[in-house]
Structure 1
C-alpha cells in the first residue's frame, strides 16, 4: 500500500525525481511560484519542500539567489557508491521479505514504463520512471530511516550523467528485470546481488567514460 504523503512531501518527491532524472539541471534556480503554479498548490508546501531538499543536499539555498540545484561533486562519488550498496541491498532484502502480490504488480508496471520509455527514445521519461521504480521498491521494505538516508545519498550521486551514457538506459532495463525476477522468487541473496551489480555497473560505465574523455581530448572537440 502506498504511504500517505503530505503536500510538501509530494512536492519534494516531484523535485527529487526531476533532479535525479536530469529534467531539472544542476545549477538551475528553483522558483517557488513557478513550481507552485505547475503543481497547482500554494507557495507554503513548495517552500517547506525546498527546506527539506536543502537538508538532504539536493538544493543549495542562499539569501540572494534563493534555491538552486546542487552541483555534482566527483570527489565524493566512490564513498557514496559504497554507502548506496550497503543501504540499498538492505532495503532490497527487506522488500523481498515483505513484498505482496499487489506490490509485485505495481513494480512490474513501473518497470514496464521504464522499458517502454526507453524503447520510444524518451530517455528523460525513462530516467524518471527509474526513480519511481527504485523508490517504490524500497518503500516496500518498511525501513523509513534507511530510505531517508538513501535519498540523501541520491542527492550526491551522478544519476543524470550515468543515464545519459550511450545504451545505459537499455542495460539498466535488463538489470531491473533481473532484480525483479529475484524479488518475485523471494530470493533475497539474488536480489541483493542484483542490486549491487546494478549500482556498480552504472558507476563503472561513468568512470570509464570520464577516463576516456581525459585520455582522448579530441572527444571534446
Structure 2
C-alpha cells in the first residue's frame, strides 16, 4: 500500500459559491495534478474527513467528482486510489484532444473579436512571465487556449475539452514542473496567436495538434525515465 501524507495539501477554501464538497474536490485535484498525491495513493473517506475537519458526505461527493474526471479509480482490493499513469491513456487523451480542439479552433477562430485576440495576447504574455511557477503558468496557458476556442458555439464539445484538460494535466504538470517548458514553446504559441489574429482556423488547428503531440512525446519520455529511476 502506498502511504500518503495529507499534510502538504492546501487548506480548504470555502466561499458563498463553493461548497465543502467543491472545496475538497479542488484541494485533492490540485494535490493530484501537482504530484503531491502520487499515482496509486489510497484515499480513505474517514482519513480525509478528519484531515479537512468535515463530515464524510462532502468527501464522498468530492471523490465521486474526481472519479468521474478520471483522476481517481476504484481498486477492488484497495478502494479509491489516485489513477495510475499509463502511456496508453496519455496517447488516447492526446488523440481526443487533437480531434476536439482542432474542431473548436476551426469554428472559433474566424469568429474571434479584436478584444478576444487582445485578451489571448495578454494571457500568453503573463504565462511567459510566470516561469518558475508551473501551476500559475499552466493555468494561464490553458486560459489562452480557452479564449481561442470559446467562440466555437459548441458547448458540449467545449465541456469535453475541459474534461480532457483536467485528465491530461496530471501527466503534463509533474513533467512540466520537473523539466520546464519545451524548446520553442513561446515561439510556437506566438505563432498560434498570429494565426488566430489572421483568422486562419485550419492552420491554427494543425499547429495546435503539433503542440499537443509534442507535449505527449515529452511526457512519455519523462514517464519512461521515472520508471528507470
- Same fold, TM-score > 0.5, yes or no: yes
Give how far 1:209 is off. 3.7
Relative to its length, the structure with more helix (as a share) is 1
Question: 1:111 pairs with 124, 129, 132, which one?
Answer: 124
Question: 2:176 pairs with 163, 172, 177, which one?
Answer: 163
CA distance in 2, matches of 1:35, 1:131: 29
Corresponding position: 1:22 with 2:34:
yes
RMSD in angstroms over aligned alpha carbons? 4.0
TM-score, reference length from structure 2: 0.67
Which deviates more from structure 2 when the two are superposed, residues 141-150 or residues 159-168?
159-168
Distance 1:67 1:172, change over 3 A: farther
- Stretches of structure 1 that go unaligned for 5 or more consecutive residues are 1-5, 38-42
Given that 2:24 and 2:62 are in contact with CA atoms closer than 8 Å, whether structure 1 keeps it comes out as yes
TM-score, reference length from structure 1: 0.69
Q: Which position in structure 2 is the counterpart of 1:3? A: none
How many aligned positions are there?
Answer: 204
Give how far 1:144 is off. 1.5
Q: Which position in structure 2 is the counterpart of 1:126? A: 137
Corresponding position: 1:76 with 2:89:
yes
By relative contact order (CA 8 Å, sep 6+), the higher-ranking structure is 1
Give how far 1:20 is off. 8.1
Instruction: Provide the secondary structure at the position in 1 that maps to 2:150.
Output: helix
Distance 1:197 1:17, change over 3 A: farther
Q: Which position in structure 2 is the counterpart of 1:40? A: none
- The structure with the largest alpha-carbon Rg is 2
